[in-house]
């Protein structure tokens, strides 16, 4: 276990040829000058081609705003740092250049299909739109929409192009959202809570579908979720986020076997496990604070049973422990097996 070395994620150890996405010191602020609130602070991670990474944390931790910043979807936030897609800094592009990246370089499947889809436009037009906007002839875009919907398991896709969102079940709506994100053949798919509001059986169908598509297309997937069960069944690596910062970055098996950060331990203690007998589930104590009231030092320290005076005054740096990164002053103790 190496301590005190610069923070390096597992993906960062790969060659530049393999690295698809590199996010460096990403910070996001909103509000007028002098009263700006930091939503995200100094986020660093990277992904290699074909890798499946889960970004997890409680609601309000900054997961979705981080993902949206990669595509510069929101006009209001001030974004700093670098977002490199195949070495090209997306934050330095003009809007026309960025429009070419959305969909073709990075596709995004938004959470809650009912709000992501237009209720008064046939789903065929919505799926075709990313290609039509790029100048693809309508007939060709229509054929491609049929192909991608069929690939995603939408039966009788040609006949259903004229259907509206209310005519689809929850699982089928999610497939339509995925089709919109995939039709331009991106290298990276951002799936923002793709199983939200779906029952367990349909959730598993959607995850199985994502698994098949990612494998077939050699697609990199950034999965945003708060469901650790979804993480265990899909991801290869996990990024844990709390109050706008990454606090742990580890391979999924290593994280579930031995979480280092107290927050990660709390998340795992709050879910049932088929491999362990638990008398009762233990919730993470306290409540997350809004970014405008973020405490000094480690933002998790008011809820952490291991917090010290250092935790309350000093923000912990992200440090490397072998192939894992952790931002905790007491990471050595937790890594040695002293669980909360």
Could you tell me the residue ranges of all domains in the chain? 11-49+58-100+239-245+255-335
Output the CA–CA distances (angstroms, integers) from residue 23 to 44, 293, 324, in the order listed: 5, 26, 17
- State the average pLDDT over residues 18-38: 91
78-85 and 52-56 strand pairing:
unpaired
CATH architecture classification, 11-49+58-100+239-245+255-335: 3-Layer(aba) Sandwich (3.40)
329: three-class secondary structure by DSSP: coil
Computed over every residue of the chain, the mean pLDDT equals 88
Relative orientation angle of helices 123-132 and 170-182, to the nearest 10 degrees: 10
- State the average pLDDT over residues 37-56: 95
pLDDT > 90 fraction of the chain, expressed in percent and rounded: 66
CA-CA distance, 60 to 58, in Å (whole number)?
6
Q: How many CB atoms lie within 10 A of CB 242?
A: 27
Q: What is the pLDDT of residues 189-205, one digit of tens each?
A: 999 988 877 788 888 88
Nearest to 244 by CA among 45, 25, 55, 63: 63
17: three-class secondary structure by DSSP: coil
Q: Is the dihedral of CA 237, 20, 209, 168 positive or negative?
A: positive
What's residue 12's pLDDT? Answer: 47
Q: What is the pLDDT of residues 54-82, one digit of tens each?
A: 999 988 899 999 999 999 998 788 999 99
- State the average pLDDT over residues 233-242: 94
């Amino acid at each position: 276990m190496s301590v005190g070395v610069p923070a390096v994620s597992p993906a960062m150890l790969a060659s530049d040829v393999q690295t698809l996405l590199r996010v460096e010191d990403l910070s996001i602020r909103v509000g007028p000058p002098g009263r700006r609130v930091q939503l995200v602070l100094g986020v660093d991670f990277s992904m290699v081609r074909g890798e499946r990474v889960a970004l997890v944390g409680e609601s309000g931790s900054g997961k979705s705003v981080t993902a949206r910043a990669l595509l510069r979807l929101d006009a209001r936030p001030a974004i700093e740092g670098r977002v490199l897609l195949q070495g090209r800094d997306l934050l330095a592009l003009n809007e026309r250049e960025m429009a070419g990246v959305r969909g073709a370089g990075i596709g995004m499947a938004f959470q809650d299909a009912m709000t992501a889809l237009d209720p008064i436009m046939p789903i065929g037009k919505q799926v075709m739109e990313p290609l039509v906007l790029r100048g693809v002839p309508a007939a060709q875009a229509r054929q491609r929409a049929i192909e991608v919907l069929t690939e995603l398991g939408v039966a009788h896709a040609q006949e259903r192009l004229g259907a509206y969102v209310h005519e689809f079940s929850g699982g089928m709506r999610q497939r339509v959202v995925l089709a919109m994100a995939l039709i331009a053949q991106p290298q990276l798919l951002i799936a923002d809570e793709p199983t939200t509001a779906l029952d367990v059986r349909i959730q598993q169908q959607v995850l199985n579908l994502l698994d098949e598509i990612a494998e077939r297309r050699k697609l990199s997937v950034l999965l945003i979720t708060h469901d650790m069960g979804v993480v265990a069944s899909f991801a290869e690596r996990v990024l844990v986020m709390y109050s706008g910062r990454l606090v742990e970055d580890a391979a999924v098996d290593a994280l579930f076997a031995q979480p280092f950060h107290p927050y990660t331990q709390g998340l795992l203690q709050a879910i049932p496990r088929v491999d362990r007998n638990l008398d009762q589930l233990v919730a993470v104590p306290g409540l997350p604070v809004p970014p405008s009231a973020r405490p000094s030092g480690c933002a998790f320290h008011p809820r952490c049973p291991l917090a010290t005076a250092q935790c309350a005054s000093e923000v912990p740096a992200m440090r490397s422990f072998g192939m894992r990164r952790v931002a905790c002053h007491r990471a050595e103790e937790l890594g040695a097996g002293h669980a909360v």
